[in-house]
A and B are shown apart, each in its own frame.
Chain A
Amino acid sequence: MNTNNTLITLEGITKVFYTDEVETHALAGVHLQVKRAEYVCIAGPSGCGKSTLLSILGLLDTPTEGRYMLNGQPVASLGHAARARIRNREVGFIFQSFNLIGDLTVYENVELPLTYRGLNATVRKQRAHEALEKVGMSHRMKHYPSQLSGGQQQRVAVARALAGKPSILLADEPTGNLDSKNGEAVMELLRALHREGATICMVTHDPRFARHAERTVHLFDGRIVEEVMSEE
């Protein structure tokens, strides 16, 4: 294996939640590698640890044990500020319920991660425009999320994830709140991005969409129980 081509390496990742006197093992020794430009799907039944894994991959949470290398850099035990910085630069999130900020316009939503990076207004404007062009939403730039359909909102969410030119896109059930037509359109958008070289890691329990990925990792009770390469 070409190490330089590996974007993410997880080794023995465990996550234990402590509530009162109860320990919940959400992840139990997960080993996973994601290559650059790879499209990976994480699948599994409800409560199997998919979202916890995605949180750790997206640096929104830290593992209880294990090693996490992102872009060749150990990130498992970084502090809040360092994780926020890396998350801003390396990770693009796409959520099931879009999670656009209702009080910001489409443009401002897309610009937001660039603001946190401290880029100047000209660069921010150029990148936000590019991202919106890419998802076909530049004509809705001044609209507010409430003025858009679900499909359009998710495309804006994709543009927001892309604007920062992250190393990886993490998509958590990106079609969960969409009808089938809009769901297909968003999946097609992700495939197009993958074709252009984006690395995508998607959580879904819908087998129709899991097929879009090159590789599907099946989780069960916090462990990877199966990895399936796509036939496509």
Chain B
Amino acid sequence: MNDLRFALRQLRRNPGFTAVAVLTLALGIGANTAIFSVFKALVLEPLPYRDPLRLVHVWKSDIAIHDFMPLSGPDYFDLRAQNRCFEELGAYATARHNLGGDPPVRVQGILCTAAILRAFGVQPALGRWFTEAEETEGTRRVVVLSHRLWRERYAGDCGLVGRSIVVNGEGHEVVGITPPGFQFLSPWYRGSPFEVWTPLVLSRDEKERNGCYYLGLGRLKADRPIRAALEGAQTELRAIGQRVAEAHPATHYRKVFWAYPLVFQCVGGSVLGRLILLFWIAGLVLLVACANVASLLLTKGAERQAEVAVRFALGAARGRIIRQWLTESLLLALIGGLAGAGLAAAGLGLLHGLLPGDLQRAEGIRIDQWVLLFSLGLSGVTAVICGLIPALTVSQTRPMEIIKGGGSSGGSSRQARRRLLPRLAVAQLAIALCVANLAILMLVSYGRVLATPQGFEEQRVLTADVWLWGDRYREPEQKTHFWRQLLEQAEALPGVEAAAVTTKLPLEGGRNGEILVEGEVFDMQAKHPLVEMSWVSPSYFKAMGIALVRGRTMPPGTGIGGVHEAVVNRALAERYWPGQDGLGHSLRPNSPEPTWTAVIVGVVENVRQWGAESKPLPEIYFRYDAEPAVGAKLIVHSAAEPVLLVPALQREIARLDPDMPLSDVRTMRHVITASTAHRKFVTRLIELFMATALLLALVGVYGVISYQATHRTREFGLRLAFGASRRQIHRLVLRQALWIAGWGTLFGLGATLNLAFVLRHLLYGIDRLDVFALALAVVLVVVATLVAGSVPAWRVGRVDPINALRYE
């Protein structure tokens, strides 16, 4: 208690020292606290379901590797019939739903079997979930609404359950409302709030065996511990997969099923990797802060040698002195920790602004009691890291030397201090260099991602979602007709250069499959690369600004079924016909009974399909009217600012169908921004950490050079008295700074070379050992050191030799 009281008094009596140390620690602990608050919300927070660790996704996969292929309807029925390990097992797909009313809106929805909503183990706030009977074609149409949608669109009307609302142009009976705060976490459409659930009617038809669009979700039975239940499920799913593969070798050769816990999948591996990287770097910033505060405590120890000597003389043992110093550093760290938590809380607004929109559970990022506990725990660790060296150093004080010398000598503790302070400065610079290099690499990567030509027009292309649900659009011709009319009307609008429809946008993934080209025959054992597939209107390439490399685009007209004309991208042409133009060749699906054949009439420039950083994959563009999809994207190429066209486009759609909302309206620039949002988030945070680490290192080096210069004042006075010029004294101090910078750079380079592996999956267009980035980091660190050293150098250069010679 006395130690604590004394420590408090020490901090109060040295407000400057306390403020600098607390701020330094607050920056270090705050950075870690902020990252932990994100980590906790996204990864550690239990999922809001009953016994959430028993929830697993069921995927199809190659037998040799665990990959994530969706299930087909027949797969689902086989799994449901043969499994013994699931309490509930269902399948679902995501879809946009049009909600009728004024105004009509489009919401993200789920088509799911009845078991899906039961699997979560939560009860509806009102009404009920679906029943198996409602999964059948021809039964009455039912819908479950989210609590938020019910509250906001239907004013929380308790009488809504049992009434009918228009969903996708058809009346649906509302049978249930989800509980408040219920989140349907899915690896598909991450970050989108799902608002509507309708029953999924799956086909048992074997022709659908290869139509893999559904994700399995199951709850493991509670008769065994979770680990054993999961292992049992994996064994059973594998066995079911092998039986299905034996029965259907053409579609399931080497395919098995496997389970992946929802808790891992809802975070996403890449997000987890990036969070771990941010933890690494925040940890490095904290180490710089610790080294900085350790330096401060060491210099403070020099001032308090006499006090320590007296304590020794009065009978304090070394352990007692160490305890007292650790108490002081603990108190300092605790205040720093609280301040850090405050900084983190203040920075959460900024953090939320930087967060990618597709992060699930990001709304849970906040400073709560667990984050505070983490912050305090980290403060304890910090106290030991930054307090132990000064405590051990001060405990080496030789009391009689100090007492007799009036504090000017310090025996071994002074020697230790003189030895340790520059080393701590070197450590700070080395870590700062490491962080600076990581930040530069990430910054260059981000810049190169943004600068990479995407192969399409970014600024003047507008895109919007259109979903053709209901009886009006049941037949393919009806869908085609709608689009033909819409595109004609859109192209007639002033300022519109081209309008088109596509089933998917660049960078956002989509449908793919295996194909065969001429000369290849179906062989279930042969492995073929996946080819991306889009269904587009002929003007799509013009509207999207995708260059035609050779040939032509598909002509408008009929062509449903049979032989199609198709356009492929350059990657596909080069993959199958290197050195040739690829025109006139034909393609068909990798199937024993191909349902279509496509003749290549044109080759277009590559665009990336699965994100701004992924490699362009081979792709085939079919005509939209060959297989008109329910959900598609309107593409409009504008002569001017495309957003100005939105009201006119809404009017044109309303003329065709008053219940049809236009949703998800974006420019392609926004699509790129969304695709690079994760990288931007990480890069901005690392930049912030780099600035913090450099600032702390600069302050740390300044403190050490200042301390050393002050203790050499008498020597400088003597040198001046013997005729040294002020410039020579100046150089002496700067030489010390350069010595620190030199060793800091050397160790920093060593650490950088060893730590660069953490970035191996995160860099784009730059090598992790890029010489330019290393050189720039070194320049940054050396300049920071010289800036830090020039102030004390300038100060000692102005010293009066007479006063200096009197200095003790």
Contacts and interface: CB of A to CB of B under 8 A. Distances in A.
Contacts of A88: 314-316
Contact of B13 (A51, A52, A95, A103): A103
Nearest to B13: A103
A84 B316 contact: yes
Interface string A71-114: 00000000011001101110101010101111110000000110
Nearest to B319: A81
B307 interface: yes
Interface stretch (A3-11, A55-63, A125-133, A218-226): A55-63
B807 interface: no
A117 B315 contact: yes
A55 B406 contact: no
B10 A61 contact: no
Interface stretch (B397-405, B501-509, B618-626): B397-405
A115 interface: yes
Contacts of A60: 312-313, 399-400
Contacts of B315: 84-85, 87-89, 91, 113, 116-117, 164
A212 to B, nearest CB: 22
Contacts of B588: none
A160 interface: yes
A84 B317 contact: yes
B404 A85 contact: no
A102 B315 CA distance: 18
B29 interface: no
B678 interface: no
B306 A99 contact: yes
A103 B317 contact: no
A89 to B, nearest CB: 7
B310 A99 contact: yes
A41 B310 CA distance: 22
Contacts of A103: 6, 9-10, 13, 307
Interface in B275-315: 306-307, 309-315
Contacts of A164: 315
A158 to B, nearest CB: 13
A101 B320 contact: no
A101 B310 contact: yes
A80 B318 contact: yes
> Chain A interface residue count: which class?
20 to 34
- Looking at chain B's contact residues, the main secondary structure is helix
> Chain B interface residue count: which class?
20 to 34
Contacts of B319: 81
Nearest to B310: A99
Contacts of B400: 51-52, 54-55, 60-61
Contacts of B314: 87-88, 93, 112-113, 116, 160
Given A61-B400, A103-B10, A116 B313 contact: no
Interface string B191-207: 00000000000000000
B2 interface: yes
B22 to A, nearest CB: 19
Given A60-B312, A103-B6, A103-B13, A84 B318 contact: yes
Contact of A81 (B306, B310, B311, B317): B317
A93 B309 CA distance: 12
A115 B2 contact: yes
Contacts of B311: 101, 112, 116
B318 A101 contact: no
B312 A84 contact: yes
Interface string A152-191: 0000000010001000000010000000000000000000
Contacts of A112: 311, 314
A97 B13 CA distance: 22
A99 B317 contact: no
Interface in B364-413: 398-400, 403-404, 406
B175 to A, nearest CB: 71
A93 B317 contact: no
A113 B307 CA distance: 13
A74 B2 CA distance: 33
A97 B317 contact: no
Given A60-B400, A103-B13, A115-B2, A97 B316 contact: no
A101 B310 CA distance: 8
Contacts of A113: 314-315
Contacts of B309: 99
A99 B403 CA distance: 8
A104 B319 CA distance: 21
B320 to A, nearest CB: 6
11 contacts: A51-B404, A61-B398, A80-B317, A87-B314, A95-B313, A97-B403, A101-B307, A102-B307, A103-B9, A116-B320, A164-B315
Interface of A: 51-52, 54-55, 58, 60-61, 80-81, 84-85, 87-89, 91, 93, 95, 97, 99-104, 112-113, 115-117, 160, 164, 172
Given A54-B400, A117-B315, 11 more contacts: A60-B313, A81-B318, A84-B318, A85-B317, A87-B314, A93-B314, A99-B310, A99-B313, A101-B311, A112-B314, A116-B320
